[in-house]
Structure 1
Amino acid sequence: MDDEDPICGLCGRPIPRDAPQSLHHLVPKLKGGKGGPTVLLHHLCHREIHATLSEAELARDYHTLEALRTHPRLAKFVAWVRKRPPGFRSRVPGKRRR
């Protein structure tokens, strides 16, 4: 049996089994991605993606992990969050940013 924690697809840090995690549809369900590929992420990382990009932007330009990591805001977020422990949780509620 595999005892290793899963790895976040965005930041590359382990996701502790007791930490919030979520599945991100690479193409949003509302844009035709229902049943499409998903990736496991820290809940914090998932929230940042959706606070940064609209569903249309995700479907059109950011439907791969590589593309997500190239977005300037998400690249800055990943650099910041990689310095945090794997179970880090933000105490500030997330909001959509522009």
Structure 2
Amino acid sequence: MTDTDPICPLCGRPIPPDVAQSLHHLVPKLKGGKGGPTVLLHHICHREIHATLSEAELARSYATIEALRTHPRLEKFIRWIAKRPPGFQSKIPGKRRL
């Protein structure tokens, strides 16, 4: 981890270069977001967004990081993941359910 590591806008933790990361389209590509704004997230944070919300919900009500952070399940996830080190990756395959 370095001072120049990008910060995950969902959980607020640094994203070390050796940790899985992914780009999240704020408006899903299938809902008109192709070529639209993206944010770099931890892969585990990105997976949680898509395990929680449908593409339609993302496009309609959760097309900003601020909106995503207000969703009850994502709020709970953010509190949980904030206690983990920046390089934490779930060892449980598949979608995690709260």
Q: Settle same-fold status: TM greater than 0.5.
A: yes
Query: 5+ residue gaps in structure 2?
Result: none
**Residue 72 of structure 2: aligned partner:** 72
Residue aligning to 2:36: 36
Task: In structure 1, give the amino acid aligned to 2:37.
Answer: P
Q: 1:84 to 1:97 in 2, by over 3 A?
A: closer
When residues 96 and 77 of structure 1 are mapped into structure 2, their CA distance, relative to the original with a 3 A threshold, is closer
Distance 1:84 1:29 in 2: 30
Give the structure 2 partner of residue 15 of structure 1.
Answer: 15
Instruction: Measure how far apart 1:95 and its partner are.
Output: 2.3
Percent sequence identity is 80
In the other structure, the counterpart of 1:55 is 55
Q: Which residue of 2 aligns with 1:25?
A: 25
Q: How many angstroms does 1:4 deviate by? A: 1.1
Q: Aligned partners of 1:95, 1:19: CA distance in 2, in Å?
A: 18
TM-score, normalising length: structure 1: 0.93
SS of residue paired to 1:22: strand
RMSD over aligned Cα atoms: 1.7
Question: How many pairs were matched up?
Answer: 97
* Offset at residue 96 of structure 1 (A): 7.4
List structure 1 runs of 4+ shifted beyond 4 angstroms.
Answer: none
TM-score normalised by the chain length of structure 2: 0.93
d(CA) in 1 for partners of 2:9 and 2:94? 20
